[in-house]
Every structure is written in C-alpha cells, then in structure tokens.
Amino acid sequence: MVSGMHRRTATVLVVGFVAILVGALLAATAWKPLQATPGDPTAGSQAPYDGTLAIEPTAFYDPPSPLPDVAPGTLLRSEEIKEVPEGVQAWRILYMSKDNQGKPIAISGYYAEPTRPPATGNRFPLIALAHGTTGVGRKCGMSQGPFTEKSPGNEYWLFLGESIVDAGYAIVATDYEGMGAPGNTPYLLRKQAFDVLDSLRAAIHLGTGYIDTANLGMIGHSEGGYVALTAADQAAEYAPELNLRGSVVLAPGVLPPLPAAVATLTGQTADEKASPRSGYITTLSQSWLRNYPELTTPEQWYTDVGMDAVPQAAELCQGAMVDLLSDTFGTYFRTDLPLNVVKIAALNPPLLNKSEVPLLIQQGLQDTGVVPPATRGLAAEACRLGDIVEYQEFPDDVHRSVQFTGRTAYMDWFADRFAGEPAPNQCRELP
C-alpha cells in the first residue's frame, strides 16, 4: 500500500522524471548509435508467437504455509524437468523473494544448463532471463512448460534461452510473482528486480556444481527489458554479493509518467480490434489494480463491458487473451485514464541510481510497440546517471525480431564480459 508520504513523493517524481525524460530524449536526438552487425533475422521464423497453451500449476507451485523465515533467494524446493531438448538438463525451482510491499513471498522459475561439460574451466556462466509480456495468471509463467510447444515458456526458450544454453551458459528464468506460485503479478514495477536477482541466488543454491558465480549476467525483452534495467539499477543495494558482469536490454517496455503518454496508450487505439495492445493493457491494469488498490479502481480502467470481460481475459495468457477480447479496444477500456495512473508509473521508473552493471541496449527501428525515441531516452538517462552503456539500433527490425537480429551482437558482448574484457561505453559520444 502507498502511504500519504509516498503519494507526495509520487507527485515529486512525476515532475522530476518528466524533466529527466524530456532532457534525455532531446540529448538522444544527437546520438549516433551503432548500427550493429546483425545475426540471423530468420532464426526464429519457425517459432511465431503462440503462447496460447496455458498449463495449470501442479502442487509443486504451492508454497509451504507458513513461509519459512529465511533470506530472499533461498531455494525452497526443486524438481527435475524430465522432457527436455537434447543436450539440456533443467529443474523447476521455488524460492523466496519479496512482494511489492516488501513482505516475504515464494516465486517459481526454472534453471537449465548444458549436459556437456563447460568449455573452459569447470563452471558455466549464469544468465538470468526476464521474459516479456505473457499475462498475469498462474498459468502464464516460464517454468510450467518451457519445452512444450505453444506455451508461454516455450516462446522465450526458443527466442532467448535456447541460444544461451547452446553457447555453453546456464540460464535461470523467473516466472515473476504470481505467474506460477500464487501472488500479485508486478507488471512494470521496480519490484520485479527482486524476482530476477533472487532467481540468481536460488540458482546458485540449487547446487548442480557447475555455476560460475564470478560470472553472472541478465537479459530481458520488452517487459523483461524494463526488468533487466531496473535489476541492474537496484543490484548494488539489493544483492551486492552477486558478481553481475552485464545486463542486455532488448526493446524495453516502459510507461513514462507523462499524461500524454497515458492518453496515447489508450486514446489512439479505441477503434483497434484484437491487437496485442488489448493484452498489454489487460496485464497492466490487472497488475496495478492488485498492487496499488488505493491509487486506482476498475471503474477508472474499464467500460461496463470490460468490467466483466477483462478479468475473465486476465485468467488466460497473452495469445488467448487477445483472442477473447476480439471487439474494439474501446469496447473494453476507457480512454480517459486518471492521473493516478501517472503516479504509479512515477513510483516505478526503471532508472534511479548509478549502477556498476554495464548495459547493452538494443532497439529495432520498425518497432511500434516500444518506440525507438523512448529507448534512446532511457539509454541517455542511464548515461546521465553514470552507467556504462552501449546502445545499438537495427533499422529493419520490429519488436520481436530484434531478439534474433541482435543475437550475434549480444552473445559476443556477453562472451567479452565473462572473459573479463572492459565493457564499451558509448556515453562519451553523447553531447
């Protein structure tokens, strides 16, 4: 819950972050980003998005009651995933973390590593995967069916996880709170950093014996790009013991705390039918209603039709959610969201602190979901804070394809970080 003091802080943050973002966007217009050497943009062409297969959580996902009094990142239980691709071994995990109010909560995810020995030494570098928007329900996480076709987990295994494990690294993929184990899904909230950082701690505690704890990284796309940013931003305070060598941020989804941004989010899509945006707003609204009930109400988000339809859709995962909300956007969602929504965004900017975790930020210029000027602004803001930033643009890529086209660049970047090479810093090129 947000206290009166937090409400006053939110007002200050609205003003401050607006000024920061506008300044960053202006600075970014002078940036000459690296036109990165592309990978294979067709690498995932056989795996179009189809996260419609929701998988019911088993008893594994039910946390002990009461929860044990243990530190965040403590591994509560694990189970081996039997049906895995050749050359991979994997485990589901249940671990401790914190919710948006700072209270203990159990979160689920999975860990995967190659079956072959590490290429050098006797340990695998470990990369935490922060997934993009798949829903808010318990059926929509990464770990229920990461290798099952058409599941949300398989989407991000094929897009990101598989190539990382093939390269000889281990991954840990959090479900996020509420997407597996019970909880309130924290969509585009700074609290998601805890989910990812604690997943790294839990993976280390899993004890397979092959994790190189001196070489840890993070990668995220879309919603997960926001999470990869804010996890780097909060790592020094929340998990200072983790040796994070870098964070890769792909097309990060952020809602700036600007009234115009909120109006654009809803007002220009009132006549749009069955688009992913309906799923995004379902996920955003349901998450923020659950995490900030004192700042926003269902009546402020939904029409009379939406009051019934949207909560039903929220029980599904992204693909099926969009199919259910098949009428126009304005049939379900109001186009006059209140300024309280801006307050929630202002409480959860991705960047607040100088971080020692180097960033590689990638953006497709044909992306209409996460617009390039916003990502340039985030890169410029990270530089203003003193972060180490490399920013790459891909002229022909849309929101999802940058995960494939940018693969060669980000895998080479990770390899250099794990080899101890200093991270390139493009911030000096800013005016």
Q: Identify whether 349 is preceded by a cis peptide bond (ω within 30 of 0).
A: no
Tokens of 76: 């509560």
**Look-up of token digits 């960047």:** 351
Q: Is residue 195 part of a domain?
A: yes
Q: Give the residue numbers spanning the domain of 39.
A: 31-254+358-429
Are 164 and 291 part of one and the same domain?
no
Are 288 and 392 part of one and the same domain?
no
Q: Is residue 215 part of a domain?
A: yes
Contacts of 384 (CB under 8 A, 6+ apart): 20, 23, 24, 27
Are 135 and 266 part of one and the same domain?
no
pLDDT confidence of residue 261: 60
pLDDT confidence of residue 267: 56
Q: Is residue 239 part of a domain?
A: yes
Average pLDDT over residues 6-31: 36
The total number of structural domains that make up the chain: 2
Measuring CA to CA, how many Å separate 212 from each of 30, 93, 123, 199? 40, 19, 5, 15
Q: Which residues pair with 279 in a beta bridge?
A: none
Q: Is residue 3 part of a domain?
A: no
Using one digit for the tens of pLDDT, what is the confidence trace for 41-71?
443 333 445 577 889 999 999 999 999 999 9
pLDDT confidence of residue 15: 35
H or E element at residue 380:
helix 372-385
Are 66 and 170 part of one and the same domain?
yes
Is the dihedral angle over the CA atoms 92, 233, 250, 314 positive or is it negative?
positive
pLDDT confidence of residue 428: 84
pLDDT confidence of residue 264: 58
Q: Is residue 350 part of a domain?
A: no
Reported pTM: 0.89
pLDDT confidence of residue 257: 63
pLDDT confidence of residue 173: 98
Burial of 84 (0-12, 13-18, 19+ CB in 10 A): middle
Q: Which residue has the higher pLDDT, 343 or 43?
A: 343
Q: Is residue 55 part of a domain?
A: yes
Among 295, 316, 345, the domain-final residue is: 345
Burial of 275 (0-12, 13-18, 19+ CB in 10 A): middle
Residue 331 DSSP SS3? helix
Q: Is residue 386 part of a domain?
A: yes
Among 345, 376, 399, the domain-final residue is: 345
Are 249 and 395 part of one and the same domain?
yes
Tokens of 423: 């991270």
Distance of alpha carbon 306 from its chain centroid, rounded?
Answer: 26
Are 287 and 243 part of one and the same domain?
no
pLDDT confidence of residue 262: 60
pLDDT confidence of residue 277: 75
Are 250 and 264 part of one and the same domain?
no
Q: How confident is the model at residue 183 (pLDDT cuts 50, 70, 90)?
A: very high
Lowest mean pLDDT among 138-147, 216-225, 312-321: 312-321
Sequence letter at residue 50? D
pLDDT confidence of residue 342: 86
Q: How confident is the model at residue 379 (pLDDT cuts 50, 70, 90)?
A: very high
User: Is 259's pLDDT higher than 70?
Assistant: no
Tokens of 133: 């928007």
Using one digit for the tens of pLDDT, what is the confidence trace for 192-235?
999 999 999 999 999 777 899 999 999 999 999 999 999 999 99
Give me the phi and psi of 190, to 5 degrees please. Answer: -60, -25
Q: Is residue 26 part of a domain?
A: no
Q: Which residue has the higher pLDDT, 238 or 36?
A: 238
Where are any strands of DSSP class E within 148-203?
170-174
Q: How confident is the model at residue 122 (pLDDT cuts 50, 70, 90)?
A: confident
Q: Closest Cα partner for 196 from 180, 214, 218, 212? A: 218
> Which DSSP symbol is given to 61?
G
Are 67 and 211 part of one and the same domain?
yes
Are 184 and 288 part of one and the same domain?
no
Q: Closest Cα partner for 348 from 87, 6, 57? A: 6
Q: How confident is the model at residue 32 (pLDDT cuts 50, 70, 90)?
A: very low
Q: What percent of the chain has pLDDT over 70?
A: 83
Q: How confident is the model at residue 272 (pLDDT cuts 50, 70, 90)?
A: low
What is the CB neighbour count within 10 angstroms for residue 128?
A: 29
Cα–Cα distance between 189 and 295 in angstroms, integer?
A: 14
